[in-house]
């Protein structure tokens, strides 16, 4: 078989807080041009499974390929051989208005209560307003008891920590951290393969059915760790390859190319890419594959050497 980059068809989510930027900025072929919230770019999660759109594996789902022993080692690498499911989920998220204040469980709690992995995640800010903010953690000296009281009395905003963000910021959000992506913010999200979210506050709004959206107060209180606060850095604009996240669940680099960069994979892991600016090419041996802003793809683990060419910025995630 000829191994090459696996480009994915995205799956779109039309949540009430979505906007227009997935179409405007990434030229995504969305069904709802006015209110598309998320583009699931690389996923085997049952809520939105990726389909491969090129090469010999065209029209196969990523689940089918991951579960096929003919491909698993060569495409996903030795680090995935003992895994029952693809470990990551990659998204673009357009927060036109505030997301709910929420928290995600860790692996132990999620497996016991939801039969799922937990959810540690990271955001890379692609675009935002001049006064854009996120919620990350609680104010200093806020106890678990105080937080629980505020949640139960619909006053949790009183103790939340609001932080300004700008383009290029990297926010790492461990499971158990209370947080929210707020309005006028576009991000790339790389996370564990989980869709478990516990809402604690939703800005007193109603869903499309005219009723308040469900909260998950008890489970949220169970899993919130008031000591946890997202880690915020800025990726900068340096040319080259820069590690921006290193965790037990995934690592992420930003690759900033102005002409060309030679890359080598020595990790025995797939490489999951999303193109966040510009356009260019991936060169593998003598083959050229065009990449443009908004594209996402997996580079098989067996491809050890490749070249990124053009004026382009990418995020690269792996185990």
Q: pLDDT tens digit string along 23-42?
A: 999 999 999 989 999 999 99
Q: Which residues of 177-204 are buried (b: 16+ CB within 10 A; e: fewer)?
A: bbbbbbebbbbbbbbbbbbbebbbbbee
On whether both 101 and 129 belong to a single domain, the answer is yes
The domain that contains 274 carries what CATH number? 2.60.120.10
Beta bridge pairs of residue 124: 170, 188
On whether both 223 and 260 belong to a single domain, the answer is no
On whether both 113 and 228 belong to a single domain, the answer is yes
Range of the domain at 102: 6-234
pLDDT digits (tens, 9 = 90+) for 198-226: 999 999 998 878 888 899 999 999 999 99
Could you tell me where the DSSP H helices lie in the chain? 21-24, 62-66, 107-114, 144-152, 217-223
On whether both 176 and 224 belong to a single domain, the answer is yes
Does residue 314 belong to any structural domain of this protein?
yes
Residue 230 tokens, joined: 């997202």
User: Is pLDDT at 190 greater than 90 in this prediction?
Assistant: yes
On whether both 46 and 133 belong to a single domain, the answer is yes
Supply the pTM of this predicted model.
0.96
- Residue 207: per-residue pLDDT: 81
Percentage of residues of the chain with pLDDT beyond 90: 95
Active-site positions read: 199
Number of domains in the chain: 2
On whether both 54 and 123 belong to a single domain, the answer is yes
Which residue shows structure tokens 């915020």?
Answer: 232
Q: Given pLDDT bands bounded at 50, 70 and 90, which one contains residue 112?
A: very high
Does residue 266 belong to any structural domain of this protein?
yes
Does residue 49 belong to any structural domain of this protein?
yes
């Amino acid at each position: 078989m000829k191994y090459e980059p696996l480009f994915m068809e995205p799956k779109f989510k039309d949540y009430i807080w979505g906007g227009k930027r997935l179409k405007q900025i990434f030229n995504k072929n969305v069904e709802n041009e006015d209110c598309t919230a998320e583009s699931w770019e690389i996923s085997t999660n049952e809520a939105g499974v990726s389909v491969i759109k090129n090469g010999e594996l065209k029209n196969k789902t990523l689940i089918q390929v991951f579960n096929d022993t003919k491909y698993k080692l060569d495409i996903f690498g030795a680090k995935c051989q003992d895994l029952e499911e693809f470990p990551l989920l990659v998204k673009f998220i357009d927060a036109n208005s505030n997301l709910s204040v929420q928290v995600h469980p860790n692996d132990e709690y999620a497996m016991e209560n939801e039969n799922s992995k937990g959810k540690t995640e990271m955001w890379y800010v692609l675009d935002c307003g001049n006064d854009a903010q996120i919620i990350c953690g609680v104010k200093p000296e806020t106890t678990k008891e105080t937080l629980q009281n505020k949640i139960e009395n619909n006053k949790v905003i009183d103790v939340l920590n609001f932080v300004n963000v700008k383009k290029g910021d990297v926010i790492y959000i461990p499971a158990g951290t209370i947080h929210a992506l707020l309005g006028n913010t576009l991000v790339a999200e790389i996370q564990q393969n989980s869709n478990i979210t516990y809402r604690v506050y939703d800005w007193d709004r109603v869903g499309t059915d005219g009723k308040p959206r469900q909260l998950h107060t008890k489970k949220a209180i169970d899993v919130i760790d008031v000591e946890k606060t997202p880690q915020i850095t800025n990726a900068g604009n340096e040319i080259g390859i820069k590690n921006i996240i290193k965790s037990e669940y995934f690592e992420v680099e930003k690759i900033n190319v102005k002409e060309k960069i030679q890359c080598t994979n020595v990790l025995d892991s797939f490489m999951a890419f999303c193109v966040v600016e510009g356009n260019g090419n991936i060169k593998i041996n003598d083959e050229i594959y065009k990449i443009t802003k908004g594209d996402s793809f997996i580079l098989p683990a067996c491809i050890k050497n490749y070249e990124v060419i053009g004026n382009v910025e990418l995020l690269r995630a792996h185990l």
